[in-house]
Amino acid sequence: ARQRRRANNRPSRTSFPRKRASPTPTFRSASSPLTMMKGGPFKMPASAEAEEDKRRKAAIIKIRGWVESHVPAEHLKSRACVIDIQEAQCGDPDCAPIDTIVRIIYEGNCGTVFGLPCEAWEVDKTDLFESMPTEEYFQQWKEGTKARWPPEPENPEPGEPPPGVELRFAVGDRVECCVQRGEDGWKPGTVVSLWYRAASWPTGQYAPYQIKLDDHESLIFAPQDRDNCIRPGPPLEVE
């Protein structure tokens, strides 16, 4: 009985959370209780998590080698470039539960971060190489140029504004715009352009007005030509 009490008071190594390498810390615990084995004292069961952790670390080392094979050797030797490989849990229900994150980091906040939608041991060499930057990017980052990788997608064709629509306001008209709910959410401004469109919007998508608010330097747009969105405003006050 005395031996059993000592065993019960002994802390279990499996009761402490183990930090898993990822950009945002996550914790996984192997909280399996001690099991009484027939014919002897308490023993801890074999842990499948230990094998999983061993496989993950080996996969990360392999991926790091693949990534480093694309980076100029002198960049790695001089430590101008640092490679970091981690797994991260994805909170989006429509994506893989765990992603493998690749960071290629240069001085001056240059480099890139991209993810592969699978655990490290599942990463395929061909898929990784297809995601890697081309040679000229490494040299640009080494020189301190913040070149974006992957490149921005090409903007769609703008198309045409809706035909046959007559807008209520013209450029230069004074208006009030609803920027938040409630009567206090209306701000005065001036229409600066008609049929505004951001370059990345889908083809044929336009906003009726672009407006310069009196109390703000940046421009906004009105998505609809309706009184609950934009309405006639007071004259501009001249000091």
- What span, in angstroms and rounded, lies between the C-alpha atoms of 225 and 208? 6
Closest to 209 in 3D by CA, of 190, 228, 227: 190
> What per-residue confidence (pLDDT) applies to 152?
81
Comparison of pLDDT for 131 and 152, the residue scoring more = 131
Please state, rounded to an integer, the average pLDDT across all residues of the chain: 82
Overall average pLDDT of the 195-199 stretch: 93
Element (H, E) at 42: strand 42-43
- What span, in angstroms and rounded, lies between the C-alpha atoms of 49 and 32? 11
Which one-letter amino acid corresponds to residue 87? E
> What per-residue confidence (pLDDT) applies to 6?
43
Summarised one tens digit per residue, pLDDT across range 14-63 is 444 444 444 443 333 333 343 444 445 544 455 788 888 899 999 999 99
State yes or no: pLDDT of 131 exceeds 50: yes
Overall average pLDDT of the 118-147 stretch: 94
- What span, in angstroms and rounded, lies between the C-alpha atoms of 36 and 33? 10
Overall average pLDDT of the 219-236 stretch: 93
- φ, ψ for residue 72 (rounded to 5)? -55, 135
Comparison of pLDDT for 152 and 159, the residue scoring more = 159
